[in-house]
Structure 1
């Protein structure tokens, strides 16, 4: 994107989920997902791979199940560095949980499951960028074909996520595509990396296949409330100058901005909190 968009080094940061049972959720993410490090403080737990925070869990025993009408998380996508780590993830899921799906997306290979409170999870690995294919508009081609499990049969269920693991993308269910796309592209500064006639768009920085996806596939019509599930996610920019530019862009476009702890916090469509911070 041009100078007024997000820098190409932009990446996704931590996703925050409101949960009923913190102990159960922490055990699931340790045992099934393979998160090696959990920092707990009171009613919160931060799940890490190496120094990278992937998910924050906030306990709220009184929170109700997400209504079928409510916008929110479609899935959070944990990106592992190679096929060996994806094979290990498959072995853990097969041994300890249940696999909901698996796909070859051309640019990536992905496993799908849900946690005990119904939050969607993708665990995936990217193929090298030189192997990606592009359409006539220069956008990364993302297909959906069956995953070749025979290439992933040598995994070790006892091996945790590698330190190089991060949160590759976040996929949201929105109540309306146009306002969400306008916010994340025009206000925040992502570029459109893929658009689909069936009610979805992929958004990215730096030519990635997608850092953020939005869809209206399930007819969500109400905002995120105080129920279980997604409350916030982070976008990480490379430095303080880039963060200042994001804040100025929001203010110029009339978006209410809250600054806290060196970050910029805004409310996106559907009541989702987006926190933009600089790389540490």
Structure 2
């Protein structure tokens, strides 16, 4: 390919569709724990869920996966689904919810441009919950490349967001 193509700046990832072993178990995680809402069901085999009334951000189905074991972590596939929260305070709220529910985390990182909490859904699909710092706070290297890193997230500081009005 000799012609360079650049995707339009307004393009975005619309939704993710996951194969799951148990639809009700997945709905419990994504809806009852994380707070998504069901927009439509396809019988007992598939569900579409969203935040804020969008047609769907996540599709869940058992069409080829009902009752099966999770994929090996050492195989090709989706690393994680990333869910963006609008504010740092919103991220703190879901973190507190996860703490209260004693839901296990797999990590928490400060990436410079964002702060993220990591966990697995019931089928061992990785889930990243994060918020983006304002673009004005991002830093760049001498060559103009975005400075990103992975440092431990200060969870106590994150929870302090809930103390502000």
Provide the TM-score with structure 1 as the length reference. Answer: 0.51
Give the match for residue 100 of structure 1: 106
Partner Cα separation in structure 2 for residue 136 and residue 66 of structure 1: 41
Alpha carbons 1:89, 1:155 under 8 Å: kept: no
Partner Cα separation in structure 2 for residue 25 and residue 112 of structure 1: 17
Give the match for residue 123 of structure 1: 129
Shift of 1:68: 4.7
Tell me whether 1:51 sits opposite 2:53 in the alignment.
yes
Tell me whether 1:90 sits opposite 2:90 in the alignment.
no
Distance 1:69 1:105, change over 3 A: closer
Pairs within 5 Å for 1:237-252: none
Give the match for residue 12 of structure 1: 13
Unmatched runs of 5 consecutive residues or more in structure 1: 157-280
Tell me whether 1:114 sits opposite 2:120 in the alignment.
yes
Partner Cα separation in structure 2 for residue 67 and residue 149 of structure 1: 29
Give the match for residue 139 of structure 1: 145
Alpha carbons 1:104, 1:110 under 8 Å: kept: yes
Alpha carbons 1:113, 1:122 under 8 Å: kept: yes
Unmatched runs of 5 consecutive residues or more in structure 2: none
What SS does the corresponding residue of 2:15 show, helix, strand or coil?
Answer: strand
Partner Cα separation in structure 2 for residue 140 and residue 75 of structure 1: 22
Higher relative contact order (CA 8 A, sep 6+): 1
Pairs within 5 Å for 1:1-280: 4-42=5-43, 43-52=45-54, 53-59=56-62, 60-96=65-101, 97-153=103-159
Give the match for residue 196 of structure 1: none
Over the aligned positions, Cα root-mean-square deviation in angstroms equals: 2.1
Partner Cα separation in structure 2 for residue 88 and residue 37 of structure 1: 21
Distance 1:139 1:51, change over 3 A: farther
Provide the TM-score with structure 2 as the length reference. Answer: 0.84
Distance 1:87 1:143, change over 3 A: same
Partner Cα separation in structure 1 for residue 116 and residue 155 of structure 2: 11
Distance 1:134 1:155, change over 3 A: closer
Partner Cα separation in structure 1 for residue 73 and residue 104 of structure 2: 22
Q: Which segment drifts farther, 50-59 or 18-27?
A: 50-59
Partner Cα separation in structure 2 for residue 128 and residue 29 of structure 1: 27
Shift of 1:65: 3.0
Shift of 1:153: 1.8
Partner Cα separation in structure 2 for residue 8 and residue 94 of structure 1: 37
Deviations 1:14-67 (A, max 9, x none): 111111100000011112222134422211111200133221101131544313
Alpha carbons 1:34, 1:89 under 8 Å: kept: no
Structure holding more strand per residue: 1
Deviations 1:196-249 (A, max 9, x none): xxxxxxxxxxxxxxxxxxxxxxxxxxxxxxxxxxxxxxxxxxxxxxxxxxxxxx
